[in-house]
Amino acid sequence: MASTRRLVMKNFGKMIETRDTVEIPPVQTGVDDDGKPIFAPAQRHPIRIFRNSDGVDWFEIAKQYPHPYYIAVDDDNRVVTMTDDFQQTQIAGYTIIGIDQNYGMTYGPGGNVYGKIWTGSALISPDPTVDDVVTERDRRLQLGFDYDFGDNRGVHHIGTTETDMRRWMDEVTPLAQAFINRNDQMGRIGIFTETGPVTITAAEWQQILIASADYRQPLYQASFVLQAMNPIPADYKDDKYWVNNQ
């Protein structure tokens, strides 16, 4: 019987998936009128087997080198899975690593380990990229802004999601411009904000567009500043990089 060895960390390499079938022998399901046993037909079921490059079954490897946790990482050492059950680490095409602690990470729904980088001795957050900054900027751009009409209509929250912006630009803006082109700045337009329905004039819509620019342009400027930083700060999502620029 093979001995069991416990290591702080072990790189098991990439597993290769092969497919096979297993045959389930006939199972007695009852007896006939003469008391003779009745058997169900034998059944064949497809199975997937994961082996390392030497052809050794993952189950045998994991039993020989048990670890409290197992992670699977891609070619950039980014974590795609983590579990404490070696049977749940049957994944082909990714490097499987056994680790002796969870490094404060959580896994499963809502887990924070996914996308972390395995350095060979620790799990760390990857350095932020320009794409990360752009994603945060776009998230903030879609939060919308408050606009005060200064009368009994009060304050309305103007939505700025991609869908909102498309509707504003495709529907409301051309209509407002058409009113202005015929010298009718008081032309009335019904819109629906995040607060509710409201009627505005063509001239007011121009003011809302300016207010939108006042909200959105500083976010673009803040993102440009962050993108130019080397390295981009790990806390790039913090309001201090964004709110003060608005």
**What pLDDT sits at residue 1?**
40
**What pLDDT sits at residue 2?**
42
Judge if 86 and 169 occupy the same domain: no
Of the residues 124, 143, 176, the one at which a domain ends: 124
| Domain-located, residue 178 | yes
Judge if 62 and 139 occupy the same domain: no
Residue with tokens 């130019």: 228
At 7-22, the pLDDT tens digits run 568 999 999 998 888 8
| Domain-located, residue 215 | yes
How many structural domains is the chain composed of?
A: 2
At 121-173, the pLDDT tens digits run 999 988 899 999 999 999 999 999 999 999 999 999 999 999 999 999 999 99
Give the global pTM.
Answer: 0.62
Main-chain dihedrals φ then ψ at residue 226, nearest 5 degrees = -65, -40
Of the residues 104, 124, 144, the one at which a domain ends: 124
Main-chain dihedrals φ then ψ at residue 29, nearest 5 degrees = -110, -5
Domain that holds residue 15: 9-124
DSSP, residue by residue, 149-204? -SSTT-EEEEP-SHHHHHHIIIIIHHHHHHHHHTT-TT-EEEEE-SS-EEEEEHHH
Counting Cα atoms < 13 Å in the Cβ hemisphere of 170 gives 6
